[in-house]
């Protein structure tokens, strides 16, 4: 669905799945507006997707293992 959209509006409350999607949207260069509520510091943030922010620091590792899992076993 992310690959097919023209833009995204995200409501994010400390979810790892949403963080993965934000990283994917950032990589695809899709215009994205984010409303975030952090339960850690009890703060609300909203605005456009920050191109310099790391939303999911484990994204690359998870993608590596997903691709590895799909490879045929030899």
Q: What is the pLDDT of residues 49-59, one digit of tens each?
A: 887 877 777 77
Residues 6+ apart with CB under 8 A from 19: 12, 55, 56, 59
Low-confidence ranges of the chain (pLDDT < 50): none
pTM over 0.85: no
**Domain limits of the chain?**
8-70
How much is the pLDDT for 8?
92
How much is the pLDDT for 7?
92
Query: Is 25 buried (19+), middle (13-18) or exposed (0-12) by CB count in 10 A?
Result: buried
How much is the pLDDT for 31?
93
Q: d(Cα 36, Cα 29) in Å, to the nearest integer? A: 19
How much is the pLDDT for 6?
93
């Amino acid at each position: 669905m992310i690959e097919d959209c023209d833009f995204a509006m995200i409501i994010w409350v400390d979810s790892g799945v949403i963080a993965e999607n934000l990283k994917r949207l950032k990589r695809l260069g899709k215009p994205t507006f984010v409303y975030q509520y952090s339960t850690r510091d009890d703060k609300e943030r909203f605005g456009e997707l920050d191109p310099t922010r790391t939303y999911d620091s484990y994204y690359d590792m998870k993608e590596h293992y997903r691709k590895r899992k799909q490879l045929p076993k030899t």
